[in-house]
Amino acid sequence: MKKYILVVNGPNLNLLGRRQPEIYGKRTLDEINSRLVDIFSKQAELRFEQSNSECAIIDCLHRCGFDTECMGIVLNAGAYTHYSYAIADAIAAIPAPVVEVHISNIFARDEFRSRSVIAPVCAGSVSGFGEDSYRLAVEALILRHG
């Protein structure tokens, strides 16, 4: 069985392609996910979750974070990035590496967006490269896994 990477998207990312395309781009989440599969299908299985619920995101982290077949987790926590200590605690509790991802450069936006409470417990962060932020994060996990 091929090892997998879980890509988790948080609140409002189900609206990609319709929500503020000047910031988040014109592609839908399904289109971004399909592109990732096209790029990485030979190296790893990709699995995808999206939820607007903090609880569901934490459940995903718990479920996959202890799975020895999971190479790592790519997480775009959306607005939870800036205030969810519960998600930060879940990341800190699991052995699987988590890469924080943002489509926009969170440091060049509203002041409240320039602080990530999850960054200190993530293996790394990628932001500001549009949908390529996901590609870079997946690539980093594959390289890290060796």
| Averaged confidence pLDDT in the chain | 93
Of residues 103 and 109, more confidence is placed in: 103
The pLDDT confidence band at residue 91, using thresholds 50, 70 and 90, is very high
Contact partners, residue 146, CB within 8 Å, separation at least 6:
none
Look at residue 41 in the predicted model and tell me its pLDDT. 93
Give me the percent of the chain exceeding a pLDDT of 70: 99
Burial class (CB in 10 A: 0-12, 13-18, 19+), 47: middle
Burial class (CB in 10 A: 0-12, 13-18, 19+), 11: middle
- Kindly list the catalytic residues: 24, 102
Look at residue 68 in the predicted model and tell me its pLDDT. 94
Each residue's pLDDT tens digit, 25-68: 899 999 999 999 999 999 999 999 999 999 999 999 999 999 99
Look at residue 80 in the predicted model and tell me its pLDDT. 96
- Which pTM was predicted? 0.94
Look at residue 146 in the predicted model and tell me its pLDDT. 72
Phi, then psi, of 27 in degrees rounded to 5: -80, 145
Look at residue 93 in the predicted model and tell me its pLDDT. 98
Question: Max alpha carbon distance in the chain (Å)?
Answer: 44
